[in-house]
Amino acid sequence: MAGEAKPTTNVIATLRERGLISQITESGLEELANRERLTVYCGFDPTRPSLQIGNVVPIILLAHFQRAGHQPILLVGGGTGMIGDPSFKSDERQMLTLEQVRDNAERVRQQLSGYLDFEGENAAVMVNNVDWLGKMTLIEYLRDIGKHFTINHMMAKESVKTRIESREHGISYAEFSYMILQAADFLHLFDVMGCTVQVGGNDQWGNLTAGVELIRKTREAHAHALTAPLVTSASGAKLGKTESGALFLDPAMTTPYEMYQYWINTDDRDVGHYLKVFTFLSLAEIAALEAAQAEQPASRVAQRTLAWEITRLVHGQAVADGVAAASDALFGGGVASLAEANLPYLAQAVPTTIFAASALAAGLSPLDALVLTGAQPSKGAARRLIQQGGLYVNDERWSDPERPITREQALFGRALLLRVGKNRYHLLLVGE
């Protein structure tokens, strides 16, 4: 399949100008990529139930390759996930149970399914390395693969260096062998699909080159490796870190609204860089957004675009539109501007409490409402908050703690958005 159709654009140049290349093998990949259709793969180990935002970067690499006419392979590490990658990890991993790995692998497979085009002549392919690693015999592993690696070379790899030198932690034989398994993956995909390029995060460099070397030694063929840099912010913070933990792709673990808000709050200094990395907007469009942002900082136009694009990429356009509408209602236009259809996205955006219609009909004490939703720990605290002017009900400042909230204030007759302070919200919804 590979090599039949001409690629359309210079994908390496595209990646380079977007700051998406950290290391690349000196193997003529750029010229080759312009000449023929390549098959490119990236692996994702199911070590957790969900991928994180950082995992999107190598997916985007694959997407750029696909847009340029090449064929991407998404590899789910159902086999390697049973061992655990030691690269740049200070401790031996807690081994997952086989059930956990299988369950995680299925989730990861679903999370990966939305980014690439699985139709057409350079359709993306999804594979799971347990399908071949699981069948390999010990003798095959040692004779066909292991024979081509020297321990000396493996020990010199930067990715495992600290573990080799560490007295306290050490490294098990299992984890030490991880790079060989990943090399075996590359060899397998080379053999059965003609795959000659592997991409990954920068921490994967050692594992990628292990595969390149294995293919050279056993098949006398050239394979290529390319890594994306670790994305960092101007303030040095690790990308995707929130108070509640990492930004997960699974909407049950990180709501699309949280995802959207995370990017909305991007520092001006980072927004251009992130647009290049996480969206497919042209460099001209990005430059225009940056200029508009610099001229009108309050518009947050670059951040809005970034947040919408990433949310759409991860969760789809309908969800991106919904959370954007909810976000605008919360921070800009007010809740009155929200369409009733977007109420579910608002409920996803803020903690939501269901309460009885009768309570509203009788007139709801704002003190009770604050305590009921957990927005305030006690009525005393709620009273202080109101007296300080810190409560808004559907955007109306509620300064009298004794004034009951009635049905007239409710949006669509059933929704009360309590705002505590500048930007803490609680939604009260009348139950069915």
Partner RNA sequence: GGGCAGUUACCGAAGCGGCCAAACGGGACUGACUGUAAAUCAGUUGGCUUACGCCUUCGGAGGUUCGAAUCCUCCACUGCCCA
Spatial contact of 66 and 125, defined as CB atoms under 8 Å apart: no
Is 378 among the residues that bind RNA (CB under 7 A)? yes
Residues 309-338 that bind RNA (CB under 7 A): 327-328, 331-332
Options 317, 337, 388, 406; binder of RNA; rule CB under 7 A:
388
Q: Which stretch binds RNA (CB under 7 A): 16-24, 68-76, 156-164, 417-425?
A: 417-425
347, 281, 318: which is closest to 17 by C-alpha? Answer: 281
Distances 229 to 93, 200, 211, 420 between C-alpha atoms, Å: 24, 9, 20, 40
Residue 264 makes contact with RNA by CB under 7 A: yes
Q: Which is nearer to RNA, 109 or 241 (CB)?
A: 241
Answer yes or no whether residue 381 interacts with RNA by CB under 7 A.
Answer: yes
User: In this chain, which of 317, 362, 424, 431 binds RNA, going by CB under 7 A?
Assistant: 424
Per-residue b or e along 261-292, where b marks 16 or more CB atoms closer than 10 Å to that residue's CB: bbbbebeeebbbbbbbbbbebeeeebeebbee
Please tell me the distance from the alpha carbon of residue 28 to that of residue 225, in angstroms, as a whole number. Answer: 11
Residue 270, CA distances (Å) to 187, 201, 234 in order: 38, 19, 6
- Between CA 61 and CA 53 the distance in angstroms is 14
**Binding flag, residue 236, RNA (CB under 7 A):** no
Interface with RNA includes 385 (CB under 7 A)? yes
Based on the shown chain and the rule CB under 7 A, indicate whether residue 377 belongs to the binding site for RNA: yes
Q: Is 383 in the site for RNA (CB under 7 A)?
A: yes
SS (H, E, C) 360-397: HHCCECHHHHHHHCCCCCCHHHHHHHHHCCCEEECCEE
Query: Using an 8 Å Cβ cutoff, are 398 and 382 in contact?
Result: no
Which of 298, 341, 358, 432 is in the footprint of RNA by CB under 7 A?
Answer: 298
Whose structure tokens read 């690693």?
Answer: 133
For RNA, the closer CB: 41 or 308: 308
Using DSSP bridges, classify how beta strands 23-24 and 224-228 pair: parallel, antiparallel or unpaired.
Answer: antiparallel
Of the candidates 18, 107, 188, 300, which one interacts with RNA according to CB under 7 A? 300
251 contacts 345 by C-beta, under 8 angstroms: no
**Contacting residue, 46, 81, 206, 390, with RNA by CB under 7 A:** 390
Q: Which is nearer to RNA, 171 or 385 (CB)?
A: 385
One of 137, 152, 173, 422 touching RNA (CB under 7 A):
422
Q: Which of residues 66-125 bind RNA (CB under 7 A)?
A: none
Q: Is 244 in the site for RNA (CB under 7 A)?
A: no
Residue 429 and residue 355 in contact, taking contact as beta carbons nearer than 8 Å: yes
User: Is residue 380 within the footprint of RNA (CB under 7 A)?
Assistant: yes
Looking at beta carbons only, is 296 or 317 nearer to RNA? Answer: 296
Q: Which amino acid is at 116?
A: L
Tell me which H or E stretch contains 260. helix 256-264
* 167 touches RNA (CB under 7 A): no
Nearest CB to RNA, comparing residues 10 and 233: 233
- Check residue 384 for interaction with RNA (CB under 7 A): yes
Among residues 215, 420, 428, 429, the one that binds RNA under rule CB under 7 A? 420
Q: C-alpha angle 300/324/50, rounded to 5°?
A: 105
Smallest gap from residue 371 Cβ to RNA (A): 7
CB of 362 to RNA, least distance (A): 13
Nearer to RNA, 16 or 397 (CB): 397
Angstrom distance (rounded) from CA 344 to CA 329 = 13
Which spans of this chain sit near RNA (rule: CB under 7 A)?
261, 264-265, 267-268, 297-298, 300, 303-304, 327-328, 331-332, 371, 377-381, 383-385, 388-390, 420-424
